Structure formats: structure tokens, C-alpha cells
Amino acid sequence: MKVKSSSVRRVVAILAPVVGFILLSILFLGTYFIRKRRTQQQYEMEMEEEFGELQGTPMRFTFQQLKAATEQFADKLGEGGFGSVFKGQFGDERIAVKRLDRAGQGKKEFSAEVQTIGSIHHINLVRLIGFCAEKSHRLLVYEYMPKGSLDRWIYHQHDNDSPPLNWSTRCKIITHIAKGLAYLHEECMKKIAHLDIKPQNILLDDDFNAKLSDFGLCKLIDRDMSQVFTRMRGTLGYLAPEWLTSQITEKADVYSFGVVVMEVISGRKNLENSRSEESIHLITQLEEKIDCKRRPKMSEVVKVLEGAMNAESNIDHNFVVTSQVYFGAAGNVVSSVPPLASH
Ligand SMILES: *[C@@H]1O[C@H](CO)[C@@H](O)[C@H](O)[C@H]1NC(C)=O
């Protein structure tokens, strides 16, 4: 008996610290993982709150509010690169709500939009009223633009029954785009390059006032930095040639602006695949030497458009030979004489 009890004591003496150690380890690991999970949740909540606490930023909506404002996302206005846009009503204001795809794509674009147009204001930029960042939902709330995007109006075969826009309206729209861009490039704290200027991203209000929208691809450029290096973005047909060398400045917008102006004047798309091989590119019909440094600043463009500056004497525009421009559809748009491309 005595022998047995002493051996039991020995076993207990060996096992006790081992069991104790295992129990302590479990306790340690348990609290570690619980705390880790809690900090992760806290982190996510802080990330959500971060948007809400920024000063001077737009309103923050709950998902429920926007669901109600759009009547369960019933009236779809269109589909963009990263989500769909729905019509809505908040109080007595008509709104457009863009819902980003769930796939997680477009998170970067969401932040870019909230941080750029959320903090700047100009009559020729679409106003960001607010946003929603709740769980996985990401939505942006804009002022509603009743006439939709410019591409619905300028082309020879436009998709609505209204008569074609007259020259004065077309000129007004071009001037508004130029003013919006001049503001982004020259008047903001940081230069903003939009990088996706095209008719689909230019919206019109009831009186055909034009406003730039869709800042998801925009880039902030430090004023002391002349170039940004960035991956290829934008839309084929509106991309400046320097994208091939990936040295990008806000002058890429000036190029895209030029393409849009050509389209507004000629009534046809720059890239039109149904045309014969050599005239597919409206732009290739201009014999050009390409140098982004020789593109004018947008504020100069605005001055010329408003007649406050003389294009002939102040802007070196020898880089475009205008004699071969073919205004294919312009004759169908209005019967007046098409203006010279150099203007
Ligand atoms: C051009 O169209 C606008 C908008 O439809 C209209 O208000 C304006 O009076 C027109 N201008 C001319 C010169 O026809």
C-alpha cells in the first residue's frame, strides 16, 4: 500500500505542472485570439467612423435611408464602370445614388471620389451630396442631373427624340467643361487630374449646364511635382498618347477635352468602328505632331472660348493641321457653317 501511494504522489507531482502549463497556454491563446478579433472589429468600426469625422465632407447616409430614398433601387438611370446609378428623392431634393458593386472592386474609386469631390466645390463639377459606408455597402449620393450625360445629345444618331443641340448650346457646354477642368488643374490645393474625360462623364442639368462627374480614376498631383507615374486608366479613344510612356500630367485631360470638343462639333464619335479603316479614328484625320507640353492650359482655353484672349497670337497651335478635317456628320446636326477646328 505504502509503495502504491508514493508512486501515485510521484505521478501527480509530474503531471500537475504539465496540466497546469497546458491550461495556462489555452487561457493565454484564448484571450489573445479574442482580443485580436475585437481589435479587428474595432479597427473596422474606426475605418467606418473615419469618413464620418472628416471636416467639411459630405453627409453620411445609412443604407436604410438610401434604400428608402430610391424606393428599393427601383429606377435605374444607368450603369457605370463600378456600379449602377439609381434615381431617388431625399427631402425635397432629387438625387442620384450610385451603388458600387459588391465584388469589392471600386473601393479605391469610392475613396477617391469622397476625398476629392467631397471637399471641392465648383458650379461645373457634379456635387457630391453624401455617401454611405456601412458594412460592405458603398454608395455615393449626387445631385440629380435631369438631362443625363452628354453622349446622349451630341452624336448624329443620338438616343432621344429631342432635336439636335444648337451651336450656342454646344459652345456653352464646351466652355463649362473647360471651366471645370481649369478649376481642377489650377485652382485646387492639389492639382487634380481627372483622367477619364469623355461625354459619358459629363452631365447636363435642365438648362444644359455641363458638369464633370465620375472622379473614381482621378489623381492628385503635388504642385511641385510635374508628373505622376500611374497605371493605365481611362477610356480608349480619349487617351492621350503619352499613356504609352506612362508619364502623365493633367495635360492628358487637355487631350481628352480636345477629343470631346471634336465630337461635340462634328457630331460623331472619335472611335467609330462601323466606318472605313482609315477614318475610324476622327483624330487620325488630323496630321499631328504630339507633344503634351504644347497643349494649352485649361484657363487659357476658357479665356479663348470667352473671347478674352486671342488664340492666334497667344497659343502656338501649329501642332494641328486643320485642312484635312472631315466634318462628316456636322451637316446633319445644323445647317450653319461648321466652325474651324482651330477655334
Ligand atoms: C438653343 O437651344 C437652347 C436650348 O434648347 C435654347 O434655349 C436657345 O434659345 C437656342 N438658341 C438659339 C440661338 O436657337
> How far does the centroid of ligand 1 lie from the alpha carbon of residue 166, in Å?
6
> How far does the centroid of ligand 1 lie from the alpha carbon of residue 127, in Å?
25
SS3 at position 89:
strand
* Closest atom of ligand 1 relative to the 167 alpha carbon: 1
Question: Can you say how many angstroms the Cα of residue 216 is from the centroid of all Cα atoms in its chain?
Answer: 3
Angstrom CA distances, 149 to 44, 98, 214, 313, stand at 36, 15, 11, 35
| Residue 323, pLDDT score | 40
Candidate of 154, 165, 169 to mutate for ligand 1, largest count of ligand atoms within 8 Å of Cβ: 169
Ordered domains of the chain (ranges, CATH): 59-143 (3.30.200.20), 148-336 (1.10.510.10)
**Which pLDDT tens digit goes with each residue over 147-169?**
999 999 998 776 677 888 999 99
Taking 50 as the pLDDT cut, the residues of the chain under it are: 1, 52-55, 287, 289, 319-343
Among 260, 163, 251, 159, CA closest to 202: 260
Binding positions for ATP: 98
| Residue 73, pLDDT score | 95
- Separation of first and last alpha carbons in the chain: 114
| Residue 238, pLDDT score | 87
> How far does the centroid of ligand 1 lie from the alpha carbon of residue 86, in Å?
29
Protein residue closest via CA to atom 4 of ligand 1? 169
**Angle between helical axes of 298-305 and 251-266 (0-180°, round to 10):** 30
Catalytic: which of 151, 196, 206, 224? 196
**What is the 3 state secondary structure string of 273-299?**
CCCCHHHCECHHHCEECCCHHHCCCHH
> Does residue 196 have an active-site annotation?
yes
